[in-house]
Amino acid sequence: MRQVQIKNTTETYSVGKIVCLGQNYLDHIRELGSKVPDRAVIFCKPSSSLLPDGGVIEIPEYTKDCHHELELALLIGKTGKQIQEKNALSYLAGYGVALDLTLRDIQSEQKSSGLPWEIAKGFDTSCPISSFTPAENISTPNNLQLKLNVNGEVRQDGNTNQMIRSVETIVAEISNFYTLEPGDIILTGTPAGVSRIKSGDHLEGTIEQVGSLQVSVA
C-alpha cells in the first residue's frame, strides 16, 4: 500500500516520504528518561512501512520489545519549502490516525552506540495509518484528544495540546530541511503510555474529530 485516501471521497495520494517527529510530548520524554531536545528530532520511515486500517502488524524476529506510539498524522496537499507558520495549515490536505511502531530495544542499542535508529522504526508494517479526514473539517488540530486501546484496555490517553511543537511549527520546521510535496506524511510525536505489543493483540487508536484505526498483531 503506497496510496492513502481522503475519507468518503475517491481522492487518493501516492505517499512520498514519511517524516516523523520524535520527543514532542513532555510526558513521553520523561517516561523514556530522555532530555528535552533543543532542536526538533526528525527521522523518516520508508513508504514500504505503511499498513492500511484493518491490517496485520508483523513484528520482526530481531526484537523482543516492539512498542506502539499513537500519533496524529498530517497529509501534505501542496508543494512547499521554507513554509511560514502562519501559512502552514494551508499546505495540509488531511489529518489521520497513525502508529509509529518502534523496536525499543533496538532503538536503545543504536542510541547508546551513537548510531542511526532507522532499523528500529522503518520495518515493514511499522506505520499503520487510517484514511484521512479533509483538513478543512479540523478547526483545532492543536487541541485533539488521542486514545489508544490494546485489547480494550487504555494504554495512551493524551491531547495534541500537550505537544511541545504545534502542527504549524512542525510543518514550518520540517520544510526547512525537506521540500514537502503532495502525498508526504508527517507524524507529530506520541504522548505518554507507550508499551510493548505482542502476538494476537488488537489495537484501536482514535483521535477526536479525525477518526480511528484498528490493527492487530500477527
Q: Does 69 bind Mg ion (CB under 5 A)?
A: yes
Least distance in angstroms from the C-beta of 32 to Mg ion: 11
Beta carbon of residue 180, minimum distance to Mg ion (angstroms, whole number): 19
Q: Determine which residue in the list 125, 131, 160, 190 makes contact with Mg ion, applying CB under 5 A.
A: 190
SS (H, E, C) the chain: CCEEEECCCCCEEECCCEEEEECCEHHHHHHCCCCCCCCCEEEEECHHHEEECCCEECCCCCCCCEECCEEEEEEECCCECCCCHHHHHHHEEEEEEEECCEEHHHHHHHHHCCCCCHHHCCCCCCEEECCEEEHHHCCCCCCCEEEEEECCEEEEEEEHHHECCCHHHHHHHHHHHCCECCCCEEECCCCCCCCECCCCCEEEEEECCCEEEEEEEC
Q: Which is nearer to Mg ion, 6 or 213 (CB)?
A: 213
Give the residue with the Cβ less far from Mg ion, 100 or 184. Answer: 100
Per-residue contact string for residues 146-185; x = within reach of Mg ion by CB under 5 A: ----------------------------------------
- Contact region with Mg ion (CB under 5 A), list: 35-43, 97-105, 159-167, 170-178: 97-105
Binding residues (CB under 5 A) for Mg ion: these are 69, 100, 190
